[in-house]
Amino acid sequence: MSEQNKRLLSRYVDEVWNEGNPRTIDESFAHDWVGHVPGKELDGPAQLKEYVAGLRAAFPHMQYSVEDTIAEGERVGLRWSARDNSRRGSQGNRPSGVERTITGITFARLADSKIVESWAESQTLAVL
């Protein structure tokens, strides 16, 4: 079960954050999911979709990589990095020529092959 849970979280990173596929959220998250992200709490998959869409719009060239994954029982932990190549520009902005790397961790609790709660911490000041 731990390997299946690890694959579920890795799929979420690849398909949602890198490919922008919101259907993966519907398939992977419980309807009553609660997410704890820096500065706010998200309730339900609809709020997660809005959150992801906002960040993907702000940083359309950001690519996420799962660096480490651990699992024990119903919990999975990810250590991830994200690289944004702003040399291409976005949202009508000129390219800044700055490449950013953000690192973070995400822990998730699963039940019945769905993510029911998650906690994320990231190095958000690196974006500034």
DSSP string, 41-53: EEEHHHHHHHHHH
Pick 59 or 19 by higher pLDDT: 19
pLDDT of 48 > 60? The answer is yes
pLDDT of 32 > 90? The answer is yes
Q: How many domains does the chain have?
A: 1
Section 53-82 average pLDDT? 93
pLDDT of 87 > 70? The answer is no
pLDDT of 85 > 80? The answer is no
Calpha distance 116→108 (Å, rounded): 8
Query: What percentage of the chain reaches a pLDDT higher than 70?
Result: 86
The CATH number of whichever domain residue 110 belongs to comes to 3.10.450.50
- Domain of residue 36 covers 2-127
Tell me the backbone φ, ψ of residue 110, rounded to 5 degrees.
Answer: -115, 155
Strand order through the sheet with 75-85: 40-43, 29-37, 114-122, 99-111, 75-85, 62-72
pLDDT of 126 > 70? The answer is no
pLDDT of residue 83: 92
Contact 91, 21 (CB under 8 A): no
Provide the mean pLDDT of the chain.
89
Query: Coil, strand, or helix at residue 15?
Result: helix
pTM of the model: 0.85
Q: What does the CA dihedral 7, 12, 14, 19 come to, rounded to 10 degrees?
A: 150
